[in-house]
A and B are shown apart, each in its own frame.
Chain A
C-alpha cells in the first residue's frame, strides 16, 4: 500500500502533525499481550471481586438480581446485533429496527403509554430527559421532586439542572410515601411537573392516581419512574394518569454489570411525541409495498436539528433494549404475573421473618410493597452488613445518609432468585450478628444505632 502511495514510511502520512506536537515515545502504557495473557489478567481482576454467585444478594436499590434466562444473551449477543451500527441504512438493518419496534411495543404495554423511544442511557438520565420534556411542554420551570425518589436520581437531576432552566423543589416523604398534601401546597403556576417513583426508593407503592390529580390540578405533568417488572402486579402508571413514564431497564434481562450497561426507557402519550428525546423506530413500506421499519421523526434529533434538538443523545443502549425485548417475550403475560407474585410472597415472608428478630422492625408497617422494604435495626446497619458478608450474604443497602430519619434503616430487596431457605438463612444470620453486637432483645436504640434525625439525603 505504501508503494501505491509512493511512500517509504507510514510516518510520512503524519507530516501534518507539527514535530513539537508528537507524543513522547515513553508513554507509560502496558506492553502488548497475547490473547491468553489478556484472558488471564482479566480473570485475575474478576477474581478480586466478590460477585452475586458467591454472595446471596438482598441488595437492590434500583439494580436487582433477577434471573437472566439463557436465551436472552444467546440471542442479543449474536454478532449480527452486537457488532452492527445504528440502523441509519434501514434496508441493511431490518433486524435491529424490528427488534426495537417490538421493544417499543413492549415498553408501551408495561407503562400504559402509547409511544416509547428506542432507549436512553439509564433510569437516572431518563428522569432528566423527562424533566426537560415537561419543562418544554408546559413552558414552566419548576419540578416538584418526591423525597422518596432515589438519592442518586435526585443528584443527577441536580447536575442536569445546572445547564437547564429548571428549579428543583423537594416534596417530603411521609411514612414512606410522597406527601401529596405537601406537593399540592407547593404546586403552582410555575410547576412543570411532579416526579415520583413507583414503587419508590423505600419500596413503598405510591398512589399514582392521586399524584396525577395533584399534578394535573396545577396544570403540570406527572412523571413516574417505574420498576417495569412490577407491572405483573401494579397498574401501569400511564393508565393512572402519568404523562411521562421512565425507568431503569436492568431488571429486564440485563446483568447487574456493576451498574451498566443496562438501559433507561421513556414513554409518553401522543401529545408529547414531538418532544421525545432520542431515537424512535416507525413502521413504513418499501417501494413494493412490503412492510419495513425505519428510524423516524428524526427532525427532533441532534444530527438534523443541532442546537434546537430535543436532546443531545445519539448513541443509546440499543443492545440492552433488544435483550429486554427477548426477555419480555420469554416471560410472556403469565410469567410476568407469576414473577410478580413470587417476589411478593418472598418479600413479605422476608419482612415478616426479619421483623420477628428482637429489636428489628418494619420502618413503614402497613404500607404496601412488592419486592423491597425497609427495616430498622438496633445496631449500625453498615456494621451488620459487613458481618453478614462473613455469612455469605449481601444483606441490603444501609440507608444512613441516603434517607432522612433512616440512619438505622436497611433497604432489603427479594427477587425470584431467592428461596425460602435463603430468607431463613438471612434472618438467622442477622439475629446471630445482632446478638453478637449485643443489640438483640434490648429493643431499638442499642449501641451504634442512631435514629438519624437531622440526617440529610444528598
Chain B
C-alpha cells in the first residue's frame, strides 16, 4: 500500500533528488580560491577624534605580528554567493527525511529560532549580575522543573554542551558520590550495544570499562550483568529503549542488581523520545540521566552541533552538580498544573556548593539551545510531549511493517519503540552491502539510516523515523528501500557505483586518512600534516 504521489518523472514528492544541473551539482571553489587582492566585505567605524596609538609604540617587538594572516579577500557579494552555493550542496531536515537511528532528526520549529535570536537572550553577557538577567534565570528554573518532572528526578545542571559532555559530568558526579562515602570504585559496566561515547566518557572519568553481552532477544542479559557486577562497580550505563529500539522490560530488576552492589544506574538519554511523558527513568530506578535537547527537544543539529546535554540527578546526588546552580527565592511554578511563578519571585546563582564537582563549561552551557528547548516544551505542553512519544513509536512500527520481511530485523523482539535495527545480511549475500544500500538511497532522494551501528548487528541499518514525518514520507522511503532490495537481488552492480546524482560521487576515505590534507595551502606551498599509512578509513565504520 504505497499511495505516494510522484513528480512527473516518477520520483516521489517526499524525496529530494539531487537532479543534475541544480546549483548544488556544480563544484564550488574554496573561499580562498575566490580571493582577489584588495577586495573586502568588512567596513570599520571611523575612529573620529580618538588619539592614534601605533602598535609599535605600545606593543613590544616580541609580541607584534610579523607576517600577514592570510584570510581570504572577498566582497560581501562573493561571500554570500559562496556560502549559499555551499548550502545548496548540503542535505538537511528542512529539505527532507533523515531516518538516522539514535540521532532523532525531527523537524525543528522556527518559533524557537526567532525566540533564541531576541536581543534579550542573544545579547546577554554571561557575567552580568543575576538582577539583570531574571528572565534568563526564570527560563532555566522552569526548564529544570520540567526536565525533573519528565525524568522523575530531583535537580539538573545545564552546563553540559552535548550528550557526551553530560555523560562525563554524570560519571564525575558518581565518582564524587562514591568517594564521599569512602568507597572509591574502579569499574563502569556498559552493554555491548552502547554508543561509543559511553566507553570513552568512562575512561575520561577515570574508570575502567566492563562490557556485558546482550541476550538473544536483544536486551540486557541479567545473568551476564550479575556476573559483571561487584563491589568495585561504580555504575551501569544504559539507554532505555536500548540501541536496538527495544524497551528493557527487566529494568526494575537491573536497578535492583546494580543498587544491590552499591552501584549507580546511569540513563543515556539518546532514546528518550520514545518514552517522553509515558515512562520516567527515575521511576525505573535510574539515579542519573542526561538528555540530548538537540534530539528530544527538537533543537537543530547545526551540522553536528551545537547541542545541549543537561544532566538530571536524584536527590542524593544533587549536591555534586557543577556549580553554580540557579535557585529561586519565592514561589515557583512551571506554568503547568500548578500555574506559573508570580512576578515577585526572584532567581539567583548559588556558587556556594562545597560538594560540587566544579565547572564543566566556561559559562552556563549552550543557553541559546536551552531557549529553543523551552519554546518546544511550551508549544507541546505535557499532552503534546506524550503524543510525540506515541507518534514516534507508531511511525517506527509502521515503517518496520513496510520493510519486513524484505529486510531482516537484527533481533526478533517486537514491538519496537522509536527505532529499529535491520540487517542487510540477505542483501550482502546478493552482493550489496549496507553501505551500498545507504548510497543507493542518496540517489533516490533520501538521507540513509545509520549504518554499521550497533556493532552487534551484522550489516546494521538503524532506522528512526521520528514523530514529525507523515505517512506519505514513510511510504516513499519504504518504496525506495524496497526498490533497492529488488535491485540488489537482480543486479547489485549499479548500487556499487551509487551515488551518481549527488554533488560528488563516492569519496575515497582511505586516501583522506593516508595523506592528510586538513587545510588549504596557497599553490606551491607544501602540505605539512603528514600521513598515516595504518589508517585505511574503514568502510564499515559506524556512523552515529
Contacts and interface: CB of A to CB of B under 8 A. Distances in A.
A218 interface: no
Most buried by A among B41, B91, B280: B91
A17 to B, nearest CB: 5
B79 interface: yes
B279 interface: yes
A184 to B, nearest CB: 18
Nearest to B284: A21
6 tightest A-B contacts by CB?
A259-B363, A46-B120, A48-B135, A95-B90, A319-B302, A259-B126
Given A155-B359, A317-B306, A5 B397 contact: yes
24 contacts: A28-B338, A29-B146, A49-B133, A69-B42, A71-B79, A80-B88, A83-B93, A90-B507, A91-B505, A96-B303, A156-B362, A159-B358, A162-B357, A259-B126, A260-B369, A261-B366, A284-B508, A313-B165, A314-B197, A315-B294, A319-B306, A326-B79, A349-B53, A420-B48
B171 A273 contact: no
A304 B92 contact: no
A432 interface: no
Contacts of B62: 207, 209-210, 235
Contacts of B5: none
Give the size range of B's interface with the partner: 35 or more
Contacts of B128: 50, 59, 394
Contact of B172 (A61, A163, A292): A163
Given A81-B92, A312-B200, A330-B79, A260 B114 contact: no
Contacts of B197: 302-303, 312, 314
A451 interface: no
A185 interface: no
B172 A52 contact: no
B361 A124 contact: yes
A14 B252 contact: no
Contacts of A27: 149-150, 277, 336-337, 382
A238 B389 CA distance: 50
A109 B302 contact: no
Interface in A1-60: 1-2, 4-5, 10-18, 20-23, 26-33, 35, 37-39, 41-53, 55, 57, 59
Interface string B126-154: 11110011111011000001100110100
Contacts of A174: none
B79 A42 contact: no
A255 B122 contact: yes
B358 A115 contact: no
A367 to B, nearest CB: 10
B164 interface: yes
B118 A89 contact: no
A334 B73 CA distance: 9
A311 B200 contact: yes
Contacts of B145: 28
B251 interface: yes
A457 interface: no
A66 B284 CA distance: 48
B334 A47 contact: no
A96 B207 CA distance: 35
A232 B42 CA distance: 14
A312 B206 CA distance: 12
A130 B257 CA distance: 39
B504 A260 contact: no
Interface string B28-47: 10111000000111101101
A41 B340 CA distance: 11
Nearest to A15: B415
A231 interface: yes
A370 B59 contact: yes
A273 B79 contact: no
Contacts of A144: none
B492 to A, nearest CB: 17
A1 B504 contact: no
A270 B363 contact: no
Contacts of B473: none
Given A52-B125, A258-B124, 20 more contacts: A5-B394, A10-B390, A16-B417, A28-B336, A29-B377, A35-B109, A43-B120, A46-B119, A49-B120, A52-B123, A65-B125, A102-B30, A124-B361, A258-B368, A260-B126, A260-B369, A261-B366, A270-B530, A273-B529, A331-B42
B504 A91 contact: yes
Given A13-B415, A332-B74, A122 B363 contact: yes
Contacts of A85: 93, 98, 100, 103, 105, 301, 303-304, 447
Given A32-B383, A83-B93, A121-B162, A233 B65 contact: yes
A286 B305 contact: no
Nearest to B517: A283
Interface in A76-104: 76-96, 98-102, 104
Given A13-B415, A84-B303, A31 B196 contact: no
A18 B361 contact: no
Contacts of A165: 206
A212 to B, nearest CB: 11
B164 A332 contact: no
Nearest to B171: A163
Contact of A75 (B80, B302, B382): B80
A59 B377 CA distance: 32
A318 B304 contact: yes
Interface in B270-309: 275, 277-280, 283-284, 292, 294, 300-307, 309
B518 to A, nearest CB: 5
B216 to A, nearest CB: 16
Contact of A53 (B49, B119, B391, B516): B119
B432 interface: no
Interface string A322-341: 10011011111111101111
A78 B122 CA distance: 18
Contact of B252 (A18, A49, A309, A344): A18
Given A329-B41, A368-B63, A394-B125, A89 B442 contact: yes
Interface in A333-366: 333-336, 338-342, 344-346, 348-349
B336 A31 contact: yes
A92 B506 contact: no
Contacts of A329: 31, 41, 71-72, 74, 79, 82
Contacts of A91: 439, 442, 499, 502-507
B304 A87 contact: yes
A49 B145 CA distance: 21
B279 A312 contact: no
A111 to B, nearest CB: 10
Nearest to A85: B301
A235 B65 contact: yes
B199 interface: yes
A307 interface: yes
Contacts of A205: 59-60, 63
Contact of A290 (B52, B132, B497, B505): B505
Interface stretch (B7-15, B225-233, B479-487, B535-543): B535-543
Of residues B49, B135, B145, B497, which shows the largest number of chain A Cβ atoms within 10 Å of its Cβ?
Answer: B135
Contact of A16 (B47, B246, B395, B520): B246
B464 to A, nearest CB: 12
A234 B87 contact: no
A44 to B, nearest CB: 7
Given A1-B471, A21-B283, A153 B362 contact: yes
A92 B447 contact: yes
B55 interface: yes
Given A92-B90, A116-B519, A313-B164, A49 B375 contact: no
Given A95-B86, A260-B306, A335-B40, A273 B63 contact: no
B124 A51 contact: yes
A330 B292 CA distance: 33
A30 B305 contact: no
A437 B79 CA distance: 52
Contact of B247 (A17, A49, A84): A17
